[in-house]
Amino acid sequence: MRLWKISSFVAFIAYAGVSIVFLFPILRHPFSTLFDPYDGLFITWTMDWVIRAFTTVPTLLFHAPIFSPYRYALTFSDPMFTGALLALPFVLLTHQPIIASTINLFLATMFTAWFSFLFLNIHLGDAKAAFLGGLYAGFSVTHLHYLGHLHTYMVQFIPLGMYAWMRFAREEKLRWLILLAVCFFAQVINSPFTGYVFIGVLSIFLFEKKSRSMMKKYWKKIGVIAFVTLGITALIYLPYIYSAKLYNSYRTIRDAAHFSLSIDELFDKQRISMLAVVIFLWSAHIFIGKKRWKDSFLCGTIIVACAGMVLALGPALKFQTKTVKIPFPISFPIPLPYAVLYEIAPGFRAFRTPSRWLVLTHFSLAILLAYMTHGMSRRRWIMLAVVLSATFYLESQQLRHTGRFSPTPPPVYTWLQQMRYTSVAHVPTYLYTMGSFGQKEVERMVYSLDGVP
């Protein structure tokens, strides 16, 4: 146990250091720098509004001051409740909205890696292999691709949930089940999409005999905790359900197809690491060549990795951005499983970008990497750790396009704050057709919260 604590502490320090290196462009200007001046700034605005509403007038939470006169404007995007709560003390202390993004980027990067390490270390009993798996989970290009999209980037509670289940399976103590429920809740109230990813990653345990026996043995406790957790989640999302019916808001299946990947884009260098192919081939060698098909957890991990790639292809098969159609007897697209989920799974019609399901593959690859390096000699491990770190850093350079934002509102917003009971400011919102003016309008949204509500 002492050795486990020491290795966990060393891994924590190492991941924190690597996170500082990777995120240095924003950490040196934490109040004014973002990786995405458009979506990143809008997400910052969302967290800023949630913090202000939480700490002043909670009844206004879902009625964000945009898209006037429409109600429930917060429901037009992800709630970001978890991100807002994590950043709340920093925003209240500094009165700077951008710090919410900076803090959450750092926490998500470091803890995605460290929580993955904790899970893999307890699962494999090999700290060296677990460290490499955590390195992949936190710093591979698949994760860093979403630096500007915090609602997708903040997935640190998924590996913590896996760790909680492993501890429950070993110790059979209720507190680990409760921690698992808290992890799911933290993911789903930040973004419903990551709630689905949470379920997808943890479905790996369904392939494991011991986990299935634990589910059967404690099905009542699991059922009660799941019922309470899902019930509270449903209550929180009631305004979203009401808003969707009120405005008939959903994304068409054509929209989902547009934002899905072509089959030739699966291994695009900006979405998945160049090492992913090596990991897949290496894991196939272990699975087939070393006759590891009896390892149900490894089998489940490979299946979930493939499932993530299939879901990233969206509702219909595409090649070079063009829909592949069956020519005979009629021209018809080749449907994929996402099309079924679009029709039957709650919330799927609101998801814009099926390509983000690569996050499911991302976590599976981290697990596979740890499996492949299990029992590796120290010399080879050091060489591989250096190669991984260098590769991830070089790959990250193509993604780190930062934008600066003035943290001090122009004087007109101070004047509006003083006159807010006798004046109304109509603030446009960002549209794709605005081009470079889009960033300016999102900046105005952030400034407009000065003194609100």
Measure Cα distances from 51 to 409, 429, 441 in Å: 18, 20, 21
pLDDT tens across 145-199, in order? 898 899 999 999 999 999 999 999 999 999 999 999 999 999 999 999 999 999 9
Q: Mapping DSSP to helix (H, G, I), strand (E, B) and coil, where does residue 191 land?
A: coil
| Chain mean pLDDT for the chain | 85
Confidence of residue 279 (pLDDT cuts 50, 70, 90): confident
Backbone angles phi, psi at 41, to 5 degrees: -70, -35
Confidence of residue 362 (pLDDT cuts 50, 70, 90): very high
Question: Poorest-confidence range of 13-27, 230-244, 357-371, 375-389?
Answer: 375-389
pLDDT of 293 reads 59
Backbone angles phi, psi at 316, to 5 degrees: -145, 150
Residue 450 in contact with residue 409, Cβ under 8 Å?
yes
pLDDT tens across 167-181, in order? 999 999 999 999 999
pLDDT of 453 reads 45
Residue 27 in contact with residue 401, Cβ under 8 Å?
no
Residue 436: is its pLDDT beyond 70? Answer: no
Going 377 to 380 to 383 to 385, the CA torsion angle's sign is: negative
pLDDT of 33 reads 85
Question: Poorest-confidence range of 129-133, 286-290, 386-390?
Answer: 286-290
Q: Using a pLDDT cut of 70, give the percent of the chain over it.
A: 87
Residue 119: is its pLDDT beyond 90? Answer: yes
Q: In whole angstroms, what is the distance from residue 279 CA to residue 163 CA?
A: 23
Residue 426: is its pLDDT beyond 60? Answer: no
pLDDT of 428 reads 52
Residue 284: is its pLDDT beyond 70? Answer: no
pLDDT tens across 212-241, in order? 999 999 999 999 999 999 999 999 999 998
Which residues are bridge partners to 319 per DSSP? 322
Q: Name, of 293-302, 312-321, 400-409, the range with top average pLDDT.
A: 312-321
Residue 417: is its pLDDT beyond 70? Answer: no
pLDDT of 433 reads 59
Q: Which of 355, 370, 274, 359 is nearest to 321 (CA)?
A: 355
Residue 439: is its pLDDT beyond 90? Answer: no
Measure Cα distances from 252 to 70, 203, 255, 342 in Å: 22, 28, 5, 9
Mark out the alpha helices in 294-436 (DSSP H runs): 296-312, 337-344, 358-372, 378-396, 411-418
290 versus 360: the higher-pLDDT residue is 360
pLDDT tens across 39-94, in order? 888 899 899 999 999 998 888 899 888 777 788 888 888 999 999 999 999 999 98
Element (H, E) at 33: strand 33-34
Question: Poorest-confidence range of 20-34, 281-295, 401-415?
Answer: 281-295
Residue ranges of domains in the chain: 2-404, 411-448
Element (H, E) at 323: strand 322-323
Q: Which of 407, 434, 392 is nearest to 147 (CA)?
A: 392
Residue 200: is its pLDDT beyond 70? Answer: yes
Q: Which of 152, 84, 116 is nearest to 352 (CA)?
A: 152
pLDDT of 295 reads 77
280 versus 374: the higher-pLDDT residue is 374
Report the alpha-carbon angle 202-206-207, nearest 5.
115
Predicted TM-score (pTM) of the model is 0.90
As given in the structure block, the two tokens for residue 345 are: 């799974």
